[in-house]
Amino acid sequence: MGRLDHKVCLITGGARGQGEEEVRLFQEQGAIVWLCDVLDDLGQPLADELGVQYRHLDVTDEAAWQDLVEEIVRTSGGIHGLVNNAAIFRVGRLKTTSVDDFQAVMRVNTLGVFLGMKTVAEPMTESGGGAIVNISSMAGLRASVGSFAYGASKWAVTGMSKTAAVELARKGIRVNSVHPGLIETPMVEDVPINKEGIIRRTPLGRIAQAKEVARMALFLASDESSYSTGSEFVIDGGLNAPKRFNGLALDDSRLSSDVVTLIAPLDEWVQHNGWRALQIQFVFRVVPPTAPGLSFQHSNSADFGEQQKHKNRGDQGHQLQAFKDRKGSDGNACPE
């Protein structure tokens, strides 16, 4: 039994890359797939191979969307899933991005997603509800220096997904956005980016495969995610995860083994002793980049807690006496 049995799903930009993997995986899991793209020379052979429907679709054309969705409902009896995958990329900073490039990116990446959601909303409601999966990007969650238009378009996808999720929830339609990091796709291959630099900054230390994104889209299109809507689902190998502790990079190539050992039980220790104790007792010394590691000074761990408890009592005694003195001098019963 497939995870998408009998569900009618429309996937845009499905001729290659992430879209192709989504088409293959959805079909494998029992979906009735309609594959759409402008790359007819790639899309039609893929559809013939898999036994799915292919249609040419310019996602910026509202009339084309309406004609396609009407055909899908008429032919397949409804529509239950939409994956807005079609997108283009342009390199350019704020000052170097032309109006033409900006508008081209926004039309495909943003207008295309808007038209898709708008067109399927009513027939999907009539089909008993469903799921819309909008492929955004990490550029839709943080700054995208060097690809200004692309970042703007993907932030728009993130925002539209949240608003649509609220508007369509009572109609039984869930809407979520997917935010891939660096993925091995033809579109990425065509972009002049420093892949090795990104891989070095990625905790998992590799580029993702398109099928890994497809699995996320499958989960969100299936009933397995029945209580998930209006959310961002990140698939970036940890690239956007916090990598700093108290201002220090958590890179084990730059930390001494003692510090790495210390960090592991840190949460439990802080809960017992408090952040103030941590700030008082630990003095970190940042070393030059060429140094082998990072050193620190701290009290012996065996009697560290006892030392701090005595110190806290002393601090509290001084604070209480200061409060009494202040109350006696100015009559104010509340500490500042």
Q: Helices 62-76 and 112-126 sit at what angle, rounded to 10 degrees?
A: 30
CB 153 within 8 A of CB 106: yes
Catalytic residue among 150, 182, 202, 294: 150
d(CA 173, CA 178): 16
> Which residues have C-beta within 8 Å of that of residue 333, sequence separation ≥ 6?
327
Give CA–CA dist 307/273, Å, rounded.
11
| 227 included as an active-site residue | no
Give every CB contact of residue 160 below 8 A, 6+ residues apart in sequence: 110, 113, 114, 117, 134
Token representation of residue 242: 């916090």
Residue whose C-alpha is closest to residue 9's, from 82, 85, 73, 72: 82
Measured between alpha carbons, how far is 273 from 285 in angstroms, rounded to an integer?
22
Place of tokens 């502790």: 245
Question: Is 177 within 8 Å of 157 (Cβ atoms)?
Answer: yes
Instruction: Give whole-number Cα distances, 62 to 66, 126, 298, in Å.
Output: 6, 20, 66
Bridge pairing between strands 248-249 and 244-245: antiparallel
**Using an 8 Å Cβ cutoff, are 315 and 281 in contact?**
no
What is the rounded distance in angstroms from the CA atom of residue 170 to the CA atom of residue 165? 9
Residues involved in catalysis: 150
